[in-house]
Every structure is written in C-alpha cells, then in structure tokens.
C-alpha cells in the first residue's frame, strides 16, 4: 500500500497542536504549543483568549510540524482536524485551517471526534494494541467507560452524570489555592500525603450502572476545607489531595474492573489527561496483575491534548471510508 501522510490539527481547548502521522501509527512530528501559562493567571481556560492565541499560532505550528517531519505541503495526502467536542471559537480556528489546506492542495479532509483521538493515543505508543478492549477515557471535560469493538466502533457503557474526573481535580485544586490545571498539582501533592487521612465518599451510584458522579465528592471536599478554615485549623494539603485522589480513583478502578469482568475482556486501555496520573496508573497496573488483564496507557505527552492522536484517529476513519466536505461544521458538544 502507498504511504499515507496525514497532517493533523488539534485546537479544541488550550493547546495548539499540529502533527504529521505516517500510515496511522508512526509519528513524524507532533508540535504542541501550550497556552497554560496564560490561562493560569485566570485559574482556568478563558475561551476568547484561547481562540485568539490559536489564531496567532496556528500557521507557525503547521510550518514547524512540516519542518520537523522534513516534508512539504506537497507530501501531505490527507488533512485532519478536531471537529468537537471543545470550545467553539477554538475549534473553528483548527477546522478553518484544515479546510483551507484541503481546498488549496485538493486533498481529502477528515473531521475527528476528540474523544476518539484520546483512545487512539494508545495505538501510537503500543504498536501491538488492537480492538476489542474496554476503554476508560478520563479528561477535563468527559469521563467515559467504553467498549471499543473496532477502530471506529465505540459503545458507551458508562459516563459521568455531573463533573468529569479531570474537572473535579481542577476544582479541588483551585479551592486549595493550587495552580491550573489541578491534576498534575494534586498528583504531586498526593505523593506526600496519606490517602486514608480523610474518609471522603466513594460515589458508586448503584451496582447496576456504570455511570459516574463526582459532584458529591467535590462538595464533600469543599465542605471539609471550609470547615477546617472556620475552625482556624491549618489545611494539610498533601493529606486532602491524597484522600480526594484516592476517592476518585477507587471508583474509576472499581467500575472499570467490574466491566472488564462482566464483558470477559482482558485488555484495559486508559486515555485522556487524567491518564497522566501516576496513582491511577499504579492502581490499574495492580488490578491488571492480580486479574490477568493487560493494561495500556499513553505516554504523558500523548495523554493530554495533542494532534498526533487526532491524526491516528483520522487514519482509521479514512480507511473506513470517511471523508468530510468543506461544509464540515464544528460540534462543541459532540459525544463519542
């Protein structure tokens, strides 16, 4: 088969990223320009600033991605971009650039679901990984337990009914005065704390559903923090972080394990920004070892938002016959 080179663009949130992917699973380049230091001042992503920064950066990042891959526009066979979910103004910058490239070079365009991209990050790291498997996608905006039947067929078995896992990390970190994004900060603090210090609730909902709920836990942690402050007791930040993190991870692992058993699956694939959490990986590996389940997760850089995963997802969509028209729209609330 002829080599297929994909230029992929990701601008759904606060990373402007462009990658060149060869034959679906080989990264020729993956440039990620993070806006985190700008948004950190505001304690979270400011959508208007995000789109403006994407607009300022996108052409430079495209150029850099081509240079690093040592190719020119004429070598690209297909252009891909994230079509949703994400911030509408941010998504529009990526999709407009992708359409311009598709039109100018007369090459196919494929719009990718960002959450599908997160799953695909694993194919870039684990060359032997193939569906079917059970996937846990844990990001800043979504929490899904999915049965991945093929490269393009996903069945959502569970989802969050309120806050996403990453969102709960960000909100608790903010209440503790830690920097945005909260996940890595809590991860680091938790290493110095005792996960059994405070007994925060594990919200299972009930045994019949694979859905998650993290807002009750969030309220419980916020109440605890306020209570301590009112009593003028100094907060033990490492203990709060470790206990909160443990409560989130216990539920994620328990539901994942139950689903793996129910479906008789022995492959568990974790993805999304929270897949960068060291304790989550440690717990998943332990669960895997004890139950003969092989556990997969991306490298840290491919866990959080990047264009390489979008290029990989576009490859499987494309070989499955998917093409988009220049009339392609963005879908800020797109589901998997």
Between CA 179 and CA 257 the distance in angstroms is 32
Nearest approach in angstroms of CB 90 to Zn ion is 12
**Which of 273, 288, 298, 311 is in the footprint of ligand KG4 by CB under 6 A?**
273
199 contacts: CB under 8 Å, gap ≥ 6: 243
Q: Is 277 in the site for ligand KG4 (CB under 6 A)?
A: yes
Give the angle subtended at the CA of 258 by the CAs of 256 and 264, to the nearest 5°: 100
Tell me how many residues contact ligand KG4 (CB under 6 A): 20
3 state SS of 93: helix
Q: Quick one: what does residue 182 bind among ligand KG4, Zn ion, none, with the CB cut-off 5 to 8 Å set by partner type?
A: ligand KG4
Residues forming contacts to Zn ion in the complex (CB under 5 A) are 139, 305
ω into residue 290 within 30 of 0, thus cis? no
Q: Is 117 in the site for ligand KG4 (CB under 6 A)?
A: no
- Spell out a b/e string for 91-118, using b for 16 or more CB atoms within 10 Å of the CB, else e: bbbbbbbbbebbeeeebbbbbbbbbbbb
Q: Is 183 in the site for ligand KG4 (CB under 6 A)?
A: yes
Q: Is 187 in the site for ligand KG4 (CB under 6 A)?
A: yes
Between CA 114 and CA 82 the distance in angstroms is 6
SS (H, E, C) 188-248: HHHCCCCCCCCCCCCCCCCCCCCCECCHHHHHHHHHHHHHHHHCCCCCCHHHHHHHHHHHH
3 state SS of 137: strand
> Which stretch in 54-62, 179-187, 231-239, 320-328 sits in contact with ligand KG4 by CB under 6 A?
179-187
Nearest approach in angstroms of CB 167 to ligand KG4 is 6
Q: Which string of x and - marks every residue 136-165 that binds ligand KG4 (by CB under 6 A)?
A: ---xxx------------------------
Between CA 117 and CA 135 the distance in angstroms is 12
> Which stretch in 32-40, 66-74, 125-133, 134-142 sits in contact with ligand KG4 by CB under 6 A?
134-142
Q: Is 274 in the site for ligand KG4 (CB under 6 A)?
A: yes
**Which of 7, 8, 9, 13 is in the footprint of ligand KG4 by CB under 6 A?**
13
**Which of 304, 309, 310, 315 is in the footprint of ligand KG4 by CB under 6 A?**
304
Residues at the contact surface with ligand KG4, assessed by CB under 6 A: 13, 139-141, 166-167, 169-170, 181-184, 187, 272-274, 276-277, 304-305
């Amino acid at each position: 088969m002829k080599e297929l080179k994909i230029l992929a663009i990701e601008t759904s949130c606060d990373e402007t990223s462009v990658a060149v992917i060869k034959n679906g699973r080989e990264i020729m380049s993956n440039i990620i320009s993070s806006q985190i230091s700008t948004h950190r001042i505001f304690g979270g992503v400011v959508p208007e600033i995000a789109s403006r920064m994407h607009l300022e950066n996108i052409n430079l990042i495209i150029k850099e991605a081509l240079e690093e891959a040592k190719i020119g526009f004429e070598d690209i066979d297909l252009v891909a971009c994230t079509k949703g979910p994400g911030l509408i103004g941010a998504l529009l910058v990526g999709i407009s650039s992708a359409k311009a490239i598709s039109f100018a070079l007369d090459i196919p365009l494929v719009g990718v679901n960002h959450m599908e991209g997160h799953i695909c990050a694993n194919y870039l790291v684990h060359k032997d990984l193939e569906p079917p498997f059970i996937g846990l996608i844990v990001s800043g905006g979504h929490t899904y337990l999915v049965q991945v039947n093929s490269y393009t067929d996903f069945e959502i078995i569970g989802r969050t009914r309120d806050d996403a896992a990453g969102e709960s990390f960000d909100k608790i970190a903010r209440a503790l005065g830690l920097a945005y994004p909260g996940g890595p900060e809590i991860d680091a603090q938790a290493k110095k704390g005792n996960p059994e210090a405070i007994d925060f609730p594990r919200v299972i909902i009930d045994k019949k559903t694979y859905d998650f709920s993290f807002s009750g836990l969030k309220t419980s942690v916020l109440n605890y923090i306020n209570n301590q402050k009112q009593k003028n007791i100094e907060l033990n930040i490492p203990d709060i972080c470790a206990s909160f993190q443990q409560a989130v991870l216990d539920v994620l692992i328990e539901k994942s394990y139950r689903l793996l058993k129910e479906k008789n699956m022995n492959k568990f694939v974790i993805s999304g920004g929270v897949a960068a959490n060291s304790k989550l990986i440690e717990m998943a590996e332990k669960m895997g070892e004890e139950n003969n389940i092989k556990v997969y997760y991306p490298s840290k850089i491919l866990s959080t938002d990047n264009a390489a995963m979008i290029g990989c997802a576009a490859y499987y969509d494309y070989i499955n016959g998917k093409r988009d028209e220049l009339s392609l729209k963005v879908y800020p609330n797109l589901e998997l």
